Amino acid sequence: MQTDGTEIRIANELIAAGVSKEDILLGFHAPYKRKFTDFAVG
């Protein structure tokens, strides 16, 4: 995901639909910060 600027928080919707957090990359976080999230690091 490059951005999540919506009120519904798309990442949370994907998780609720069964997508693993490890399969979601939060592109709006710098690569060095991604390791501190529960999501994919790239």
Whether the pLDDT of residue 20 is over 90: the answer is: yes
- Mean pLDDT over residues 9-35, rounded? 89
Domain residue spans of the chain:
1-42
Whether the pLDDT of residue 11 is over 70: the answer is: yes
Query: Which range scores top for mean pLDDT: 12-16, 26-30, 31-35?
Result: 12-16
What is the CB-side half-sphere exposure of residue 9 using CA atoms within 13 A? Answer: 4
Hunting for tokens 């592109």 — which residue is that?
27
Contact 33, 25 (CB under 8 A): no
Whether the pLDDT of residue 6 is over 70: the answer is: no
- Architecture in CATH for domain 1-42: 2-Layer Sandwich (3.30)
Task: Tell me the pTM.
Answer: 0.70
